[in-house]
Structure 1
Amino acid sequence: MIKSDSASTTRHSQTINKSVSSHLNSARRPLIAHSIPGISPWLIPLGYFIGRYIILPSFFRQIKITGLENIPKSGPVILAPTHRSRWDSLVLPYAAGRHLTGRDMRFMVTIDECQGLQGWFILRMGGFPVNTQRPAIATLRHTIELMQQGEMLVIYPEGDIHRDGQVHLLKPGIARLALNAESKYPGLGIKVIPVSIQYSESYPHWGADVNIRIDEPIKVTDYLNGNFKLEAKRLTADLTHQLKQLSQESGVRRNIEPENSSPASPPSPCYTSTTSRVQSNYQFPVIKFAHIQGSVVNNL
């Protein structure tokens, strides 16, 4: 009888230890990403239509697009645009969305913005959340899955908005994420495409001009031959160089020129959309689009 009680006590103690261990391990794990609902088949075309034919034509005088031919019709793509205004998230689909490339964009968005009605709208328009302070492994794996599916992602490498027209220090996350995905799943053929967005005003107002320049793709496979960290730095440096060149060649005359800026070169031949000048009272919601730090990517 005593032996039976002792065995029962031992089993009970082991059960408690397993439970405690499970809770501790759960606490150590990164924050799990919110479940990502399916994209709405009707909301995306409606959103594109409203943005392209109502909001943007009512606000901007002219939108110039150069280099559209540099976006592949298929295969995994990461658009890496400069971040100049909250308008970027509407201007990008206008410049390279489904009506011109046949492709939708999947924006990486900060998790705080994916709450409430705004979050419902963003997620069903193809956005997906990431906690920039503690990126969940699940979110980064989802990002790689999107690339495996041949999607076109949008990640702002500068992170925050910079209104001085200069290219600021890029975060290493894009390079490390792309290299990690390409090395783990050979043959994906991921391309990182630099995109420069320049407005004629630091704070775009009604009647402002926009110039979007899309550069030639950077092939991630060209950076798989050496040390991972060094190649990630090299990819980031090349992306920085191309973004700076695009920004200098934008051809947009800004009312407030940044200090020590070089004269803009004449713009290349481009697709130009001259929008109607009907004043709009539309106020674009403040949405923070995400960048990712590089350290967590290595844990995938």
Structure 2
Amino acid sequence: MIELCSSSDQSDRKLGKNNTNSHIACKTSLISPSLSSLAYFLGTKLLLPNFFGQIEVTGQNNIPATGPVILAPTHRSRWDALLVPFAAGRYVSGRDLRFMVTATECTGIQGWFISRLGGFAVEPQNPSITSLRHAVDLLVNGQVLVIFPEGGIRKGRVHPLKPGIARLALRAESDHPGLGVQILPVSINYSDLNPSWGTNVNIDIGMPIPVAKYIRSCVKQDARFLTHDLTKTLQKLSINQVKLRHRELANMANFPDQESQVQGHKSQI
């Protein structure tokens, strides 16, 4: 999964202009009812609950029931692509999610599944006008779009966000006044830096950020303000990651003390 664009100015080009990479294949995001239902059942009922320890999700009441939404999750592991639907997808919000993925991931059997589960391809360094227009069309049609604003997988703290997500949201809102695009910050935190069997997960969903209030002067400047506020919100949500790790370490540290207390109690008996 990827963030929309590189940090260059190409995302500021108007969607009506030609793009030299328009020949890049970009399948539209489809939702296969039968395949999607099976994937949700296997993922949320079997795979995730049996692989991870505790999965704690907070803030689900912040998910808008209708209207265009961009989910902006932190990106710590490839598991994120499954945990986002678990926390905010069909079983929770009643809404299907459309993922933006790299073109290299949309090949072979994996690409076949992705293209039928709401995913569509984008060339990250030079996205085609077709893919950008498709993303805007999804928002205009009131869909939920998932974009990882940090770009690729980043460990630890919240890393600098790419400007593409803000520019896309602002472009959609400015081209369609009153559209009501909202960005929903999502912090995905693991008790281990490299998630494995039994790892605990904490997912915090923040308050939606209305994009319209950031439309003031030019897209670049507006995008900087929006990206700044999104960064601050994700950083605040990610504090729970530190709390989660501290709680895990505290439990591990207290375990030997509890053992010794039990042994001491037995010796007195």
TM-score between both structures, scaled by the size of structure 1: 0.74
Structure 2 residue 177 is the aligned partner of structure 1 residue 202? no
Shift of 1:141: 0.1
1:106-121 equivalence runs, <5 A: 106-121=98-113
Quote the Cα distance in structure 2 between the aligned partners of 1:31 and 1:155.
23
Q: What amino acid does structure 2 have at the position aligned with 1:222?
A: K
Query: Is the contact made by 2:19 and 2:129 (CA closer than 8 Å) also made in structure 1?
Result: no
CA deviation string 1:181-215 (max 9, x = no partner)? 10001111000011100000011111110000000
Q: What amino acid does structure 2 have at the position aligned with 1:87?
A: W
Query: Is the contact made by 1:202 and 1:256 (CA closer than 8 Å) also made in structure 2?
Result: no
Quote the Cα distance in structure 2 between the aligned partners of 1:253 and 1:61.
14
| Residue in 2 that maps onto 1:89 | 81
| Residue in 1 that maps onto 2:9 | none
| Residue in 2 that maps onto 1:43 | 35
1:252-291 equivalence runs, <5 A: 252-253=244-245
Larger Rg: 1
C-alpha change, 1:253 and 1:149, in structure 2 (3 Å) is same
Q: What amino acid does structure 1 have at the position aligned with 2:31?
A: I
Structure 2 residue 191 is the aligned partner of structure 1 residue 188? no
Quote the Cα distance in structure 2 between the aligned partners of 1:114 and 1:97.
21
> Hey, which of these two has a bigger chunk of helix by percent?
2
1:10-159 equivalence runs, <5 A: 28=20, 30-36=22-28, 38-159=30-151
| Residue in 2 that maps onto 1:213 | 204
Q: What amino acid does structure 2 have at the position aligned with 1:115?
A: T
| Residue in 2 that maps onto 1:229 | 220
**Aligned CA-pair RMSD:** 1.9
TM-score between both structures, scaled by the size of structure 2: 0.82
Shift of 1:30: 3.7
Quote the Cα distance in structure 1 between the aligned partners of 2:167 and 2:19.
26
Please give the secondary structure, in 1, of the residue aligned with 2:133. Answer: helix
Structure 1 residue ranges without an equivalent (≥5): 1-25, 258-300
Shift of 1:225: 1.9
Query: Is the contact made by 2:62 and 2:205 (CA closer than 8 Å) also made in structure 1?
Result: yes
Query: Is the contact made by 2:21 and 2:127 (CA closer than 8 Å) also made in structure 1?
Result: no
